[in-house]
Amino acid sequence: MAGSGVFAELLDGDTFKYYADGQWKRSTSGNSMTVINPTSRSTYYKLSVCTKEEMDHMFDAAREAQRAWARVPLWRRAEALHKAAALLKQNKDVIAECLVKEVAKPAKDSVTEVVRSADFIDYTAEEGIRILSEGKCLVPDSFPGNERNKLCLSSRIPLGVVLAIPPFNYPVNLSVSKIAPALIAGNAVVVKPPMQGSVAALHMIQCFHLAGFPKGLISAITIKVADLGDALTTHPAINCISFTGGDSGIAIAKRAGMVPLQMELGGKDACIVLDDADLDLAAANIIKGGFSFSGQRCTAVKIVLAMDTIANKLVEKVNVKVARLSVGPPEVDSDITPVVSESSADFIEGLVMDARQKGAKLWQEYRREGNLIWPILIDNVRPDMRITWEEPFGPIIPVIRIRTIEEGVQHCNSSRYGLQGCVFTNNIHRALIVSDAMETGTVQINSAPARGPDHFPFQGLRDSGIGSQGITNSIHMMTKVKSTVINLPVSSYTMG
């Protein structure tokens, strides 16, 4: 149960504390905020509301702890990360239970998220050892006008303090995907967990605490973003921001100062199905890609662009599978579970109603109970409908019928998002031509979009983000190259 056993020190009465100075603390504000269970729609957990002074103190402590951490040998940093990973795995059930209650993630998927996060940490520790132990030595006589009278030694150094802001849909995994690369590279981290998902994230932080990381190196702050969001993201002590979330990230990026940004934002991933595609494979991937975690994934299939000649057959196959999806609470592993909040459910409903009113065909009757929305395939969607361009983050799949491949590619490239996309065809040449033409960070051929495996590069174009994730890229992003040039009194050549 949350807040029990090795997690008991996280709780003060019924309120979860925040983490700073290597301790769990109750905010001096005396205020709390609530996490609503999306299934029951009632308060499930309470969190401390931190103050600006507590935030400032956290950053001061992070700066100090980082200086010492950067001097800890790399193998010891890796060792500490492996310990945290093992603790996460040991405590996977209690952390998964928080995910079930806070974000209504199906029970099995919740456990998978925690285990995947532990694997992420282990892999990062190993990758960090390899990447960060390598440097470069350049000699100057390759550049015109130079003799061989210098050696340029370069290696990677930490940035300082990394601010990590993850979203509600992967509060554990998308926290560790920022924390682990930051720490292996010698940085300190301040984490601001998403409101829904905070308790799972705080439990994950306790695993780092129990692994023995130095005090002040990792902090977790719980705030009301309306009050302290700007102060947090523009804090002068920050040396890097790693953010995953929706359009709020665009405003954060615009306000951020001269610090490297890793922004992984929204998506409207298109699935283009050509006339020679394996339609069973395409249908299975549209279901998996569109409805996993009830469509609340940045990489969910958010629009299907099907060639006219096969569209009827494809829709029929997808519909058979939609009918088989179970709908209900996350505790019993239903395929479709309540979406994260009432406002999210209202937004999704607005998109469905707009499409229906403008003439789209709903293959299933629209049904909603509280935050639970039954899965729907919306056919004959047109460009004047909101669902064509907006990200529903819910169990809805719109279908647009296209006459040519170019029409599909053009639609994909007209979106303000450019995260991932996919194309289904049995002709590898057509697949590559479409993949090259699609302006998205990644294109999957004959499979639904996905971020994982976690060491693959993951990036979005346009409003989908800045920079690239994936274990190797995150380590690079959270470090800077530093050079030392050794100047020799005379030129020195081999054998001479």
Ligand X SMILES: O=C(O)[C@H](O)COP(=O)(O)O
Active site residues: 264
Angle at 352 between CA 347 and CA 265, to 5 degrees: 50
The whole-angstrom separation of Cα 481 and Cα 57 is 29
Kind plus residue range of the DSSP H or E element containing 316: helix 308-324
Q: Does 393 bind ligand X (CB under 6 A)?
A: no
Binding to ligand NDP, residues 127-186 (CB under 6 A): 165-169
Distance CA 178, CA 167 (A): 12
**Helix, strand, coil percent content, the chain, rounded in steps of 5:** 40, 20, 35
Sole window of 226-234, 296-304, 333-341, 427-435 interacting with ligand X (rule: CB under 6 A) = 296-304
Asked if residues 350 and 358 have their Cβ atoms less than 8 Å apart, the reply is no
Residue of 77, 203, 297, 401 that binds ligand X (CB under 6 A): 297
Pairing of strands 240-244, 261-264: parallel
Per-residue binding string, ligand X, 422-461, x by CB under 6 A, is: ----------------------------xxx---------
Least distance in Å: CB of 61 to ligand NDP? 20
Closest CA to 241 of 191, 170, 171, 195: 191
Minimal CA–CA distance to 413: which of 458, 475, 464? 464
Residue 172 burial class via C-beta count within 10 angstroms: exposed 0-12, middle 13-18, buried 19 and up: buried
Comparing CB distances to ligand X, the nearer of 297 and 476 is 297
Report the residue from 299, 371, 388, 442 that binds ligand X according to the rule CB under 6 A: 299
- Our separate counts of H helices and E strands in the chain read 14, 26
Q: Cβ atoms within 10 A of the Cβ of 226, count?
A: 7
Contact residue for ligand X among 117, 169, 344, 468 (CB under 6 A): 169
Task: Considering the complex, state which of residue 236 and residue 489 has its C-beta at the smaller distance from ligand NDP.
Answer: 236
Among residues 80, 393, 444, 473, the one that binds ligand NDP under rule CB under 6 A:
393
The partner in contact with residue 450, picked from ligand X, ligand NDP, none with C-beta cut-offs of 5 to 8 angstroms by kind, is ligand X
Span near ligand NDP by CB under 6 A; candidates 36-44, 181-189, 261-269, 312-320: 261-269
- Residue 243 is a binding residue for ligand X (CB under 6 A): no
Instruction: Confirm or reject binding of residue 303 to ligand X (CB under 6 A).
Output: no
Binding of ligand X at residue 164 (CB under 6 A)?
no
Question: Rule CB under 6 A: is residue 266 a binding residue for ligand NDP?
Answer: yes
Cis peptide bond N-terminal to 73, omega within 30 = no
Instruction: State the nearest-atom distance from the C-beta of 302 to ligand X, in Å.
Output: 11
Helices (H), 133-247: 173-184, 198-210, 225-233
Q: Does 285 bind ligand X (CB under 6 A)?
A: no
Q: How many residues does the chain have?
A: 496
Task: Write out the binding residues for ligand NDP, residues 408-437 only, by CB under 6 A.
Answer: 419
Nearest residue (CB) to ligand X, 169 versus 242: 169
- β pairing state of 368-369 and 461-462: unpaired
Closest distance of CB 160 from ligand NDP, Å: 19
Query: Using CA of residue 85, residue 90, residue 91, residue 96, what is the dihedral sign?
Result: positive
Q: Under DSSP, is residue 205 helix (H, G, I), strand (E, B) or coil? A: helix
∠ at Cα 420 (478, 379), nearest 5°? Answer: 150
Q: Give me the least distance between CB of 387 and ligand NDP, in Å please.
A: 15
Of 169 and 425, nearer to ligand X (C-beta) is 169
Listed ranges 31-39, 252-260, 297-305, 367-375: which one lies at the site for ligand X (CB under 6 A): 297-305
Cα 300 to chain centroid, rounded: 13
Q: Is 232 in the site for ligand NDP (CB under 6 A)?
A: yes
Closest to 11 measured CA to CA, from 218, 206, 210, 209: 206
Which of 160, 267 has the CB closer to ligand X?
267
d(CA 292, CA 392): 14
CB of 451 to ligand X, least distance (A): 3
Residue 35 binds to ligand NDP (criterion: CB under 6 A): no
Task: Give me the helix-helix angle, 308-324 and 279-291, nearest 10°.
Answer: 50
Site string for ligand NDP, 108-137 (x = CB under 6 A): ------------------------------
Residue 460 binding: pick among ligand X, ligand NDP, none (C-beta 5-8 Å cut-off by kind)? ligand NDP
Choose the contact partner of 395 out of ligand NDP, ligand X, none; CB within 5 to 8 A by kind: none
As beta bridge partners, residue 362 has 378
Give the residue nearest to ligand X (CB).
297
Quick one: 214 or 467, whose CB is closer to ligand NDP? 467
Decide whether 296 or 425 has the Cβ nearer to ligand NDP.
296
> Is residue 389 within 8 Å of 416, Cβ to Cβ?
yes
Give bridge partners of residue 242 from the DSSP assignment: 164, 262
Angle, helices 74-90/198-210, rounded to nearest 10 degrees: 130
Residue 106: name its binding partner from ligand NDP, ligand X, none (Cβ under 5 to 8 Å by kind). Answer: none
Binding site for ligand X (CB under 6 A): 169-170, 297-299, 450-452
Interacting residue ranges for ligand NDP, rule: CB under 6 A = 165-169, 192, 194-195, 225, 229, 232-233, 244-246, 248-249, 252, 264-267, 298, 391, 393, 419, 460, 465
